[in-house]
Amino acid sequence: MDLYKKLKAIKEKYDKINEQLSDPAIISDHSKYIALGKERMPLIDIVETFNEYDSLLKNIEGNKEIINTSDEKELVELADNELVELKEKLVNLEERIKFLLIPKDPDDDKSVIVEVRAGTGGEEAGLFAADLYRMYSRYADLRGWKREVIDISDTGGLGGIKEAVFSLIGAGVYGDLKFESGVHRVQRVPVTEANGRVHTSAASVAVLPEVEDVEVEINPGDLRIDVYRSGGAGGQNVNKVETAIRITHIPTGLVVQCQDERSQLKNRQKAMKVLKARLYDMKIQEQNKEIAQQRKSMVKSGDRSEKIRTYNFPQNRVTDHRIDLTLYNLLDIMEGKLDELVEKLKIADRAEKLKGSF
């Protein structure tokens, strides 16, 4: 299907949705009306661009007709000069259209659950995991997103963490952070190093889109739920009342726990949210493996064990290995200023998808 036919088909779909949205039967069905509205939203820009594209093609044909049929020399010359400009506009517009036609990840607009875990490197890995947790927290603050802690376990002593699980709530969070999943490596002199030698350690990050109940069905019979006393800070209530929740999903062996809230119900709700996100992620990872066999993506690898980025403190350098990008603003990045890095990853991903689509 050529570009024009593809755009025309989208325009017809858009017109059909508009017609349905004006149907009284649809208007009275709230859930269907909302669903159609969501389906219509990503088509608006494409249809507006198609109208511009269609008009431009007609102008080009009109100028060609003048050049081929008119006996007026000045008019032909004018039409010929204008045709050059119109063709340049056409090339630029077609590139814009191709980007608009790249299939959008349906999860991009969702909020996320982020899991940061210390990897190899002992105490230094725990400190680096704490730094990453702070980095994403600062980025969320700068973007105006809401952050909710689900579970944190520290290493004790120097302030490192074994694991941090937290949600970031806002519009388009997953679209901005989905490329953060993977192994992050740090090279620096640890605070515990007396001889000033640079050590290498690592932490892993998983960014999971939050899911609605309709997207993941969980059989209550597949769950084992344990209630226990929290072990962290939180006042006298923490150690005297059993409020912490541990949920085991028996078919997959996934274990989720939450002890951040003083309410057993709230901890249970948060733990279920994480479990649903992990189960949904497992389903998406399986799909990604199938897709990867057909076309390898430069940016979004389905392999969570892949080393994606190195943070080199002595050189104030950050290198993203997937797109061969090196930036010399490490300190700013650790303060949550991730915009440039996020945008470069998005651009690389769009370019890769563009190659696979046209």
Residues sharing a CB contact under 8 Å with residue 357, sequence separation 6 or more, in sequence order: 98, 101, 102, 103
* Global model pTM greater than 0.75: no
37-69 pLDDT, tens digit per residue, is: 988 988 999 999 999 999 999 999 999 999 999
Please name every residue paired with 112 in a beta bridge, in sequence order, or none if there are none.
168, 209
Tokens (6 digits) for 226: 């344990």
What pLDDT shows up at residue 106? 81
What pLDDT shows up at residue 99? 83
**Are 197 and 240 spatial neighbours (Cβ–Cβ below 8 Å)?**
no
What pLDDT shows up at residue 306? 73
What pLDDT shows up at residue 266? 87
Task: Output the CA torsion 145→148→150→153 (10° steps).
Answer: 90
**Are 189 and 312 spatial neighbours (Cβ–Cβ below 8 Å)?**
no
**Are 145 and 177 spatial neighbours (Cβ–Cβ below 8 Å)?**
no
What pLDDT shows up at residue 289? 65
Residue 86's H or E segment, with its range, is helix 73-101
All structural domains of the chain, each given as residue ranges with its CATH number in brackets, are: 3-101 (1.20.58), 112-215+298-357 (3.30.70.1660), 220-281 (3.30.160.20)
Please name every residue paired with 325 in a beta bridge, in sequence order, or none if there are none.
320
Amino acid at 130: A
Task: Please spell the DSSP secondary structure of 297-342, one letter per residue.
Answer: -SS--S-TTSEEEEEETTTTEEEETTTTEEES-HHHHHTT--HHHH
Residue 154's H or E segment, with its range, is strand 146-154
Residue 79's H or E segment, with its range, is helix 73-101
Cβ-count burial 30-42 (b if 16+ within 10 Å, e if not) = eeebeebeeebee
Q: How far apart are CA 165 and CA 4, in angstroms?
A: 47
What pLDDT shows up at residue 65? 93
Q: How far apart are CA 253 and CA 37, in angstroms?
A: 38
**Are 336 and 142 spatial neighbours (Cβ–Cβ below 8 Å)?**
yes
- Note the Cα 282 to chain centre separation in Å: 16
Q: How far apart are CA 134 and CA 335, in angstroms?
A: 8
| Total count of residues recorded for the chain | 358
What pLDDT shows up at residue 224? 92
Intervals of the chain under pLDDT 50: 1, 233-239, 291, 293-298, 300-303
Q: How far is CA 207 from CA 6, 241, 257, 277, 321, in A?
A: 33, 32, 17, 9, 18
Q: How far apart are CA 22 and CA 197, in angstroms?
A: 69
**Are 201 and 121 spatial neighbours (Cβ–Cβ below 8 Å)?**
yes
Please name every residue paired with 199 in a beta bridge, in sequence order, or none if there are none.
188
**Are 174 and 109 spatial neighbours (Cβ–Cβ below 8 Å)?**
yes
